[in-house]
Amino acid sequence: MDMMRPMPLPRMKEESEPQDAGAPIAMSVRDLRAGYGGAPVLNGVNLEIREKTVTAIIGPSGCGKSTLIRCLNRMHESIPGATCDGEILLGGRSALELDPVLLRREVGMVFQRPNPFPTMSISQNVAAGLVLNGVRDRALIAETVEKSLRRAALWDEVKDKLDAPGVGLSGGQQQRLCIARALAVEPRVLLLDEPCSALDPIATGRIEELLLQIKDQLTVVIVTHNMQQAARVSEYTVFMLMGEMVEYGLTRKMFTQPADKRTEDYITGRFG
Amino acid sequence: MNDALYTRRRMVNNAMFALTAVCAAVASGTLLAILGYIAWQGASSLSWDFLTNLPKPLGEEGGGIANSIVGSAKVVGLAGLMAAPVGVLGGVYLAEYGRGRYAFAVRYAADVMNGVPSIVVGLFGYALIVQPMKRFSALSGSVALAIIMVPIVLRNTEEFLRLVPGTIREAALALGVPRWKVTLFVILPTAGRGILTGALLALARVAGETAPLIFTAFGNRFWDNGWLNPIATLPHTIFTYAISPYQDWHNQAWAAALILMIFVLLVNVTARVWLRPSSGTSH
């Protein structure tokens, strides 16, 4: 079925060239081990995520991609029985020692399925992070709502119905609403866990475009099943297999000259 | 194709379909029969005077049940005020935080409480409040009804909170919102309609309870006074009138039963219309 659709070629424009290896590091992960109720999922992952870039995490189902990014904002530990140790640094501070509530304001997350709050309108959804954390200044809220919706490329579609329920939007619009909601609290890092897996190709294209735009202002980490997507949006790619990081490097390099045989096999579709 | 076999299967299918339809008709027909019979028996004694007057002294014809209507509203209302917060907060605990042995015990106790005969709850209310205070009272009746309501509201609240998808909870937590705010401002409103409906249905259910009130609210043929005196309630008045030897009282019991049925039905229908999925809340 996949072959029926025209496959966009990987976009490798000059402006999306990776920054040099000396670019500042937004988050670094050292010897991260995580699991659920004694069953290990991650067996010592090391990773340095560069600031204001898009990093894609690819790999077959069950390889630990989602667990890895859920460790980065400590959503992982909200699951009963989940364990996580090792070191995660966010701008020099240890993420595992921060208050998870404060960490999550700096490391936002967008999930696989669009999940707008069902009782809230479009603007309330976007403002939720601010309002629930005690912001009362209406002008500031209205301004943030507009700014966030613009950054999520949704403003033009919803500006006349900000008070309509968020769940009334289409799937792709809902996902962009969720991105706007995450952006509204001004995170430094935005994690996306297969954000397009429930969306059609057109909605997927919109989200990819907006990711390329917002990466000027923040660091993006995206888990994806879709290798073309990784090639289109990311500068760096992480390839994971069975709880281990097999390869990490410039996307362009990984998709043309993978260093590891397993990466090559996965990318060329020999498994997974 | 084996025609004989096919014909046989079709006949069995039709027979079973008819059987299920008849059973469904019996189940819903019972409700209609009860409603119809009560309406038929009660309508003749129903009048404005009946709704607005106190009972007449024994031996005089006529009189009304105004004190029972007001009494029921007071006793059931206070029971709801006592039971709803306990039930809702307990349900929040079970759904959001309840793990392990304590939660299991609470859940189990609530389920057992649901099955306790209401006369036992009445006796409990008697021992708990009437005996120490040495008086029958509206308060003791409310406590007895609240004891019946709490487990219903609790389990219902838990069920509706569990229906809120985990992804909603995660979305809120991922915004850097503290857990208690997520529960209070995101999860509870999402389940709010279901919780409210459950509370209303529980209210309608206890409004018709008689047994818990026999030893607590006790009944009263006059206007009650405050919360610490015996009080008339609809189900108890129906009970008293129905077992009396007087034809006039029997007629009034039917009319009072009609009023009670109308009230319970109204609450039920309101609650269910309310719950009907509109935009969003349900899936």
Q: In this predicted model, what pLDDT tens digit does every residue of B85-118 receive, in sequence order?
A: 999 999 999 998 888 899 999 999 999 999 999 9
Question: In this structure, are residues B197 and B273 in contact, taking their beta carbons and an 8 Å threshold?
Answer: no
pLDDT tens-place string over residues B24-65: 999 999 999 999 999 999 998 899 999 999 999 888 888 899
More confident residue, A174 or A272: A174
* A-B contacts at Cβ under 8 angstroms: 82
Mean pLDDT, residues B225-240: 93
Q: Which 162-181 residues of chain B touch chain A by CB within 8 A?
A: 165, 167-168, 170-179, 181
- pLDDT value of position B279: 42
Residue by residue, what is the 3-state secondary structure of chain A?
CHHHCCCCCCCCCHHHCCCCCCCCEEEEEEEEEEEECCEEEEEEEEEEEECCCEEEEECCCCCCHHHHHHHHCCCHHHCCCEEEEEEEEECCEECCCCCHHHHHHHEEEECCCCCCCCCCEHHHHHHHHHHHCCCCCHHHHHHHHHHHHHHCCCHHHHCCCCCCEHHHCCHHHHHHHHHHHHHHCCCCEEEEECCCCCCCHHHHHHHHHHHHHHCCCCEEEEECCCHHHHHHHCCEEEEEECCEEEEEEEHHHHHHCCCCHHHHHHHCCCCC
C-alpha distance from B79 to closest chain A C-alpha (Å): 29
- The alpha carbon of residue B202 is apart from the nearest alpha carbon of chain A, in Å, by 25
| pLDDT at A12 exceeding the cut of 60 | no
How far, in Å, CA of A155 to CA of A226, rounded?
27
- pLDDT exceeds 70 at position A55: yes
Whether pLDDT at B282 is above 50: no
Q: What is the pLDDT of residue A22?
A: 60
A188 pLDDT higher than 50: yes
- Please state, in angstroms and rounded to a whole number, the distance separating the CA atoms of residues A125 and A185: 12
Summarize the confidence of residues B240-260 as an average pLDDT: 94
pLDDT(B278) > 60: no
Whole-number Å distance between alpha carbons of B136 and B126 = 8
- Compute the nearest-CA separation of B97 from chain A (Å): 11
A236 touches A56 (CB < 8 A): yes
Interface test with A, best of B160, B177, B180, B188 (most A CBs within 10 A): B177
Q: Which pLDDT value is given to residue A21? A: 56
Of A80, A104, A113, the CB nearest to B173: A104
HSE toward the beta carbon, residue A163, CA cutoff 13 A: 0
Q: Considering chain B, what is the average pLDDT of its residues? A: 92
Please give, one letter per residue, the 3-state secondary structure of chain B.
CCHHHHHHHHHHHHHHHHHHHHHHHHHHHHHHHHHHHHHHHHHHHCCHHHHHCCECCCCCCCECCHHHHHHHHHHHHHHHHHHHHHHHHHHHHHHHHCCHHHHHHHHHHHHHHHHCCHHHHHHHHHHHHHHHHCCCCHHHHHHHHHHHHHHHHHHHHHHHHHHCCHHHHHHHHCCCCCHHHHHHHHHHHHHHHHHHHHHHHHHHHHHCCCHHHHCCCECCCCCCCCCCCCECCHHHHHHHHHCCCCHHHHHHHHHHHHHHHHHHHHHHHHHHHHHCCCCCCCC
pLDDT-derived band at A211, boundaries 50, 70, 90: very high
Query: What is the structure's pLDDT at A179?
Result: 96
pLDDT at B254 over 90: yes
Collect all residues of chain B within an 8 Å Cβ-Cβ radius of residue A182: 174-175
Nearest-Cα residue of chain A relative to residue B282: A118
Nearest CB to B174 within list A108, A113, A168: A108
pLDDT confidence bin for A20, thresholds 50/70/90: low
Q: What is the pLDDT of residues A107-136, one digit of tens each?
A: 999 999 999 999 999 999 999 999 999 999
B189 touches chain A (CB under 8 A): yes
Query: Are residues A192 and A203 in contact, defined by beta-carbon separation less than 8 angstroms?
Result: no
Q: Which of A80, A105, A115 sits opposite B176 (nearest CB)?
A: A105
Which chain A residue's Cα is nearest to B189?
Answer: A119
Residue B283's pLDDT band, with cuts at 50, 70 and 90, is very low
Of A30-39, A262-271, B8-17, B206-215, the least confident: A262-271
Identify the closest residue of chain B to A133 by CA–CA distance: B177
Distance between CA atoms of residues A139 and A130, nearest Å: 12
Chain A, window 128-157: residues with a beta carbon less than 8 angstroms from a chain B beta carbon: 128-129, 132-133
SS3 for A167-193 is HHCCHHHHHHHHHHHHHHCCCCEEEEE
- Tell me how far apart the alpha carbons of residues B86 and A199 are, in angstroms, rounded to a whole number: 43
pLDDT of residue A11: 46
Residue type, A150: R
Contact list in A for residue B172 (CB cut-off 8 A) is 117, 128, 132
Cβ contact A104–B192 (<8 Å) = no
Mutate which of A77, A107, A111, A115 to test chain B, going by most B C-beta atoms within 10 A?
A115
> Could B186 and A128 be called an inter-chain contact, meaning their C-beta atoms sit closer than 8 Å?
yes
Residues of chain A in contact with residue B186, where contact means CB-CB under 8 angstroms, are 117, 119, 128, 132
Chain B residues with CB under 8 Å of A117 CB are 168, 171-172, 186, 190
User: Hey, is the C-beta of A259 within 8 angstroms of any chain B C-beta?
Assistant: no
